[in-house]
Amino acid sequence: MKKAKEGKPLKATAKGMELRRRHEETDDFLTDSSHLRRPAVSSQEKENLGDRIRKAREMRGLTLQDLSSRTGISVDTLERVESNEMVPPLGELIKLGKAVEMKMGYFISPGVDKPMTIVRSGNRPMVSRYGKKRSEQYGYFYESLAPEKANRFMEPFLITMVPTDVEELSSHDGQEFIFVLEGEMKARVGDQVEILRAGDAVYYDSSYPHLVKCASGKSAKILAVLYAGSK
């Protein structure tokens, strides 16, 4: 009887310790930000644009030379893109998407599969073509307005253009719509050249050689919606 009595508190103590241990683990999971942070960050969110391009290329069994042949983008440039040393212009992202049979939006952000997504004004991902310093030289940087929506057919951007002497004509599949929010913009499509001001809009087939840039010595801000068409 003495042993049985001595055993009961030992059993109760072990059970109590187990309950306390579970209780402490639950509290720790809910309050310790190191636990909450891990499941919130997916492998996709940790990847940069260059990482996604490289993975898509490798998934298709393509070499850098293969990708260069399909897009017209030099191997050296592709190496810099995949190593995240530079960000290609939007037109080249469309060409890369076509080359690997994926939507260009996947490179910017894969997003999640749900019917509606919201991007608040203070939480727009900003992308510079060559980093902040060189983006000024090459004319623009952009903010994605729908990074969380998966399988999107349109790519809306808020683009800030800065004065530059560089004139890069681009051509790719799809269409583009631009609405000027601030400043003046020069739009060239084929041989046609127009100056647009705040409140003006333009819609064109991007298969024609085209260019948009500041029309004066001041920066301009535009809302641009790109549609790259089917794969």
Residue identified by tokens 């191997």 is 75
pLDDT tens figures, 5-49: 444 444 445 444 444 444 333 332 222 222 222 223 333 445 788
For residue 86, give the 3-state DSSP assignment.
coil
Average pLDDT, the chain: 76
Sheet containing strand 184-189, edge to edge, reads: 192-197, 184-189, 210-214
**Neighbour count for residue 96 (Cβ, 10 Å):** 25
Q: Which residues pair with 214 in a beta bridge?
A: 185
pLDDT for position 125:
65
Residue identified by tokens 């009961």 is 8
pLDDT tens figures, 96-138: 988 998 888 888 877 777 888 888 877 776 665 444 444 444 5
Is the CB of residue 128 less than 8 Å from the CB of residue 144?
A: no
Residue with the larger pLDDT of the pair 123 and 155: 155
Reported as a pLDDT band with limits 50, 70 and 90, residue 164 is confident
Q: Which token pair is 135?
A: 């983006």
Contacts of 28 (CB under 8 A, 6+ apart): 35
Whole-angstrom Cα distance, residue 54 to residue 64? 9
Of 26, 27, 85, 97, the residue nearest 57 (C-alpha): 97
Contacts of 120 (CB under 8 A, 6+ apart): none
Q: What is the pTM of this model?
A: 0.67
pLDDT tens figures, 190-230: 999 999 999 999 999 999 999 999 998 899 999 999 997 75
pLDDT for position 138:
55
pLDDT tens figures, 43-54: 344 578 899 999
DSSP-H helix ranges across 83-229? 90-99, 104-108, 131-138
